[in-house]
Structure 1
Amino acid sequence: MRFDLTDLQLFLHVVESGSITSGAGRSHLALASASARLRGMEDLLGVPLLFRNRRGVEPTDAGRTLLHHARVVMQQMDRMRGDLGEYAQGLKGHVRLLCNTSAMMEFLPEVLAGYMKGHPHVNIDVEERLSYDIVQALTDGLADIGIIADTVASGSLQTFPFRDDQLVAVAAPGHPLSVAAGSRRRLAFADLLQYDFIGLAGDSALQQHIAAHALKLGQRLRYRLRLRSFDAICRMVESGAGIAVIPEAAALRYKKTMAIRHFRLTDAWTQRHLLVCMRRYEDLPAYARGLVDAIKT
């Protein structure tokens, strides 16, 4: 099966306009040439792609399937033109980086700032996802580099150590959780579930991770408030509005200026090591290998 880009663009224009004549004009083709191309596509597939009637044309079921794929191909072509156009403006590289919440909010900003200072012609797309989604995306070739927790299997990916990421509970000193804990510094996650939570807004990978473990215990987290940063979360925790589960690095930082207590959680899933991963380090472009080196240092 061989369709060229002109065929796909013509088919899109014909379906969108509902007319072979209009579609030919939008594609800058003579009507006879456009009609011949459409017949050739149908002959090649062995099925009709268009219903022709007095009012114009409509796609058949096969035509609607082709329409979907044609749109995807043309969108990819537009994206490619845009990416390549950036090279003419001095861009030398582009890296797709996926990471979990802790990496994005606690550990990566400083690393990325230092890397980008030394690599002004490299663009980095950073997207937050759950660790197991990151593994799948890297395996499928949908990203270049990922940062995951070692609580998920990395499969065939190559990995390097990045940071330790212990999750802890934080509460105000006068909150019922702190009172019940007394002098204890460690708690089980189950000890938290009777209280109201404060969490991250949006579809945060960390909140999904925590909620999933609550469901394993047969409970749902009760969120009183969702905010955009660990700083804002800790301020509301300090006010006594609720408790939260956040990375220990964040808790230790905010304890310096806020009246909050933190408790290490004893559940195995809360004691994590972050890994930087990719399909194969040697296959990455030099600028992407440089980013891996900066992350794993």
Structure 2
Amino acid sequence: MRFDLVDLQLFVHVVEAGSITAGAERSHLALASASARLRGMEDLLGVPLLLRQRRGVEVTDAGRTLLHHARMLMQQMERMRGDLGDYAKGLKGHIRMLCNTSALTEFLPQALAIYMQEHPHINIEVEERLSNDIVQAIIAEQADIGIIADTVDSADLQTFSFRQDQLVLVTTAQHPLHTVAALNGSLAFADALTYDFVGLAGDSALQQYLNEHALRLGQRLHYRLRLRSFDGICRMVESGAGIAIIPETAALRYEQLMKIHRLYLTDTWAVRNLLICVRQYDELPTYARELINAIKA
């Protein structure tokens, strides 16, 4: 099956415009040439892509499938043009990095600061994901470097120690759980699941991680509020809106500013070693290897 980019762009334009004539104009092609290209695509596939009617065209099921893939390819081409355009402006490298919530919010900003100053011609694209998803993305070469928790299987990747991440529960001195922890020295995640939580908004990797552990206990977390920062979460905990589980580094920071207390969980998954993971360290560009060396523990 051979379609060139002109064919795919033409098809997208025709569908979006609703007619072959308008699609040909958008693609800067003569109508006869555009019609021939569309017929050639249909002949090659052996199925109709468009239903030609007096007032324009409609897309068939096969056409919708092609449209979906054509749009993805066009988007990738635009990203490629943008990336290559950056090189023309002096960019020397681009690193795609995936990491979990704790790495992104608590450790990476400081870890990357010096590297970015020393490498002004390197761009780093950072995206938050679950550790399991990061492993699969690195294996599939969808990213260059990942930062994951050691609770997932990374046997197929090379790993380097990054930081230790301890999750703690934060509450007020008046909350019943504070009394439980004071008596026992710590508490289990299961003890907290009957209370209201304050959590991160959106599709946060940390919230998904906590939700998974609640489901393993046959329960669900009940969120009264979802916010976009640990600062906002701690302020709402201080107001009595609920309890929260956040990285200890964040709890220590806000404990100095607010009337909140951190409580340690007995669950083993609450203490995680964060690892840098790559497919093959020696195959990475020099600037990517230098980044790993700069941020690893």
Does the CA contact (< 8 Å) of 1:51 and 1:57 recur in 2?
yes
Shift of 1:183: 4.6
1:1-297 correspondence runs (5 A): 1-297=1-297
AA paired with 1:202? G
Aligned residues: 297
Distance in 1 between the 2:200 and 2:261 partners?
19
Shift of 1:168: 1.5
Identify if the C-alpha distance between structure 1 residues 140 and 52 changes in structure 2 by more than 3 Å, giving closer, same or farther: same
Identify if the C-alpha distance between structure 1 residues 186 and 67 changes in structure 2 by more than 3 Å, giving closer, same or farther: same
Shift of 1:68: 2.1
Cα shift readout 1:205-238 (whole Å, capped 9, x = no counterpart)? 1122112212222222232333332233333333
Distance in 2 between the 1:51 and 1:268 partners?
60
Identify if the C-alpha distance between structure 1 residues 51 and 192 changes in structure 2 by more than 3 Å, giving closer, same or farther: closer
Q: Secondary structure at the match of 2:207?
A: helix
Distance in 1 between the 2:255 and 2:21 partners?
70
Does the CA contact (< 8 Å) of 1:12 and 1:71 recur in 2?
yes
Distance in 2 between the 1:167 and 1:86 partners?
39
Does the CA contact (< 8 Å) of 1:185 and 1:262 recur in 2?
no
| Identity percentage of aligned residues | 72
Cα shift readout 1:141-184 (whole Å, capped 9, x = no counterpart)? 22111111111111411111111112112222232211233354
Cα shift readout 1:254-297 (whole Å, capped 9, x = no counterpart)? 33344433222111111211001111112222222222112214
Does the CA contact (< 8 Å) of 2:181 and 2:263 recur in 1?
no
Does the CA contact (< 8 Å) of 1:238 and 1:260 recur in 2?
yes
Distance in 2 between the 1:192 and 1:127 partners?
30
Distance in 1 between the 2:158 and 2:7 partners?
41
Does the CA contact (< 8 Å) of 1:161 and 1:275 recur in 2?
yes
Identify if the C-alpha distance between structure 1 residues 271 and 39 changes in structure 2 by more than 3 Å, giving closer, same or farther: same
Identify if the C-alpha distance between structure 1 residues 47 and 192 changes in structure 2 by more than 3 Å, giving closer, same or farther: closer
Identify if the C-alpha distance between structure 1 residues 237 and 54 changes in structure 2 by more than 3 Å, giving closer, same or farther: closer
Q: Secondary structure at the match of 2:242?
A: coil
Cα shift readout 1:22-64 (whole Å, capped 9, x = no counterpart)? 3323222223322322232222223333322322333333222
Normalising to structure 1: TM-score of the pair? 0.91
Distance in 1 between the 2:200 and 2:265 partners?
19
Unaligned runs of 5+ in 1: none
AA paired with 1:137? A
Identify if the C-alpha distance between structure 1 residues 90 and 265 changes in structure 2 by more than 3 Å, giving closer, same or farther: same
AA paired with 2:74? M
| Runs of at least 4 residues off by over 4 Å | none
Identify if the C-alpha distance between structure 1 residues 114 and 44 changes in structure 2 by more than 3 Å, giving closer, same or farther: same
Distance in 2 between the 1:221 and 1:24 partners?
54
AA paired with 2:28? H
Q: Secondary structure at the match of 1:153?
A: coil
Does the CA contact (< 8 Å) of 2:170 and 2:243 recur in 1?
yes
Distance in 1 between the 2:196 and 2:120 partners?
45
Q: Secondary structure at the match of 1:182?
A: helix
Normalising to structure 2: TM-score of the pair? 0.91
Distance in 1 between the 2:77 and 2:227 partners?
38
Unaligned runs of 5+ in 2: none
